[in-house]
Amino acid sequence: MSAKKKISADQKKTERTNRNQSQEKRVLDVFRKARGGWVSGTYFLHTMYLSQFHARIFGLENDGWNIEHSDFRDEYRFKSYRISKEEFKKHDSKDSK
């Protein structure tokens, strides 16, 4: 029988935070590759397997990213999202300082 390693509440919180940041980075990478184009929520869910993509987008917005939400919805009733090229330039210039 294998002994289970006990994980403290702080370790669990850190693990969860790291995972969320990693997912936010993946979402940001998709926006960067889209080059200002719209990315459907369906893509985040069905291709990237991010069921909580809304939370990742919200996290990026809390970090200062200006993410546009579309008024239209796809056949699965998901909105689309985008970050303008200018927004990336603004953040990239902040990061390089």
36 or 17, greater pLDDT: 36
Q: What is the pLDDT of residue 13?
A: 53
Structure tokens at 19: 């995972």
For 36-84, what is each residue's pLDDT tens digit? 999 999 999 999 999 999 999 999 999 999 999 999 999 999 999 999 8
What is 19-95's CATH number, 3.30.310, 1.10.3470, 1.10.10, 1.20.1070? 1.10.10
> What DSSP string describes 81-97?
EE--HHHHHHHHHHHT-
Q: How far, in Å, CA of 57 to CA of 30, rounded?
A: 12
The answer, yes or no, to whether residue 16 has pLDDT greater than 60, is: no
